[in-house]
Amino acid sequence: MKDQDIKEVIKERYGKIARGEVTFCCPSCGPTVADQSLAVGYSADDLQLVPESAVLGLGCGNPTALADLKEGETVLDLGSGAGIDVFLAAKKVGQSGRVIGVDMTADMIAQGRVLAEQHGFTNVDFRLGYIEQLPVAAGTVDVVISNCVINLTPDKLASFKEVHRVLKPGGRILIADLVTAGELPPDVKASAAAWADCLAGAMEKEAYLETIRRAGFTEVTVVSEFAYEAPGMDERLQGKILSVKVRAFKGH
């Protein structure tokens, strides 16, 4: 598939999720979106801190739990969706800090902005854009977080180079994402549905980590890792999909 075709498929799918037309979880399913969020690492207390409509059951981890966010920091959330991680980060950095959410789906950005206004989050900013071309000035961000989104980008090296560009010297990333143990079958990698399901775009683990290094990051470390399991998964993918959380620094 061409890069733009992939993006259009993903925007259509996640636009439907934002409008409540479909539900989706990546990677663990449960009977409710709250259950899905708890399964990938959010706590019940976390879910109480954010607007209910920001909890969509998406993601493969809880990056804010491991990002060691501090008062006054500027945080960028890649693929922010309706804002669950933006709002959690906003609580941690306080009014002296700032959180920017970037998403390529207009419906997600619109929902995040409405929720921020309705719930009094004055230290957040939702921006429409692609990760490969972030609408963020260079050297202005302390921490970049992301939750099961980089795997959706066709050009991961360009994405991580953009992340490196916007970070301040000494800045850090905490990325939750899906990677693979070995190559995926060609028909899966070519499937539009598998791209939207966070599978086809998943990169082999060591190649993924090397891509982060090639973008200029140091101290690239896998903080946690577990096997992806989902009902109805293609048996050829069993044991080949991993959920990882990766920390790295810009010139630390």
Domains of the chain: 3-249 (3.40.50.150)
Read off the pLDDT of residues 28-76 as tens digits, 9 standing for 90 and up.
445 566 667 666 667 778 778 787 777 666 666 688 888 899 999 999 9
Average pLDDT estimate for 149-170 = 95
Q: Contact 251/170 with Cβ under 8 angstroms? A: yes
| Dist CA 59 CA 178 (whole Å) | 9
Looking at the chain, list the stretches that DSSP marks H as alpha helix, in order from N- to C-terminal side. Answer: 3-18, 33-39, 44-49, 63-66, 84-93, 106-118, 156-166, 186-189, 192-196, 205-214
Question: In this predicted model, which residue has the larger pLDDT, 201 or 103?
Answer: 103
Percent of the chain with pLDDT over 70: 78
Give the number of other CB atoms < 10 A from CB of residue 121: 21
pLDDT greater than 60 at residue 25: no
- Which amino acid does the sequence have at 248? A
Read off the pLDDT of residues 64-121 as tens digits, 9 standing for 90 and up.
888 899 999 999 999 998 899 999 999 999 999 999 999 999 999 999 999 999 999 9
pLDDT attached to residue 29: 47
Retrieve residue 149's tokens: 């989104």
Retrieve residue 94's tokens: 């306080």
pLDDT attached to residue 63: 85
Helix (H, G, I), strand (E, B) or coil at 84: helix
**Per-residue burial over 184-220, b = 16 or more CB atoms within 10 Å of its CB, e = otherwise:** beeebbebbebbbbbbbbbbbbeebbebbeebebeeb
Torsion, Cα of 46, 48, 50, 52 (10° steps): 120
Q: Contact 145/171 with Cβ under 8 angstroms? A: no
Least confident of 121-130, 142-151, 198-207: 198-207
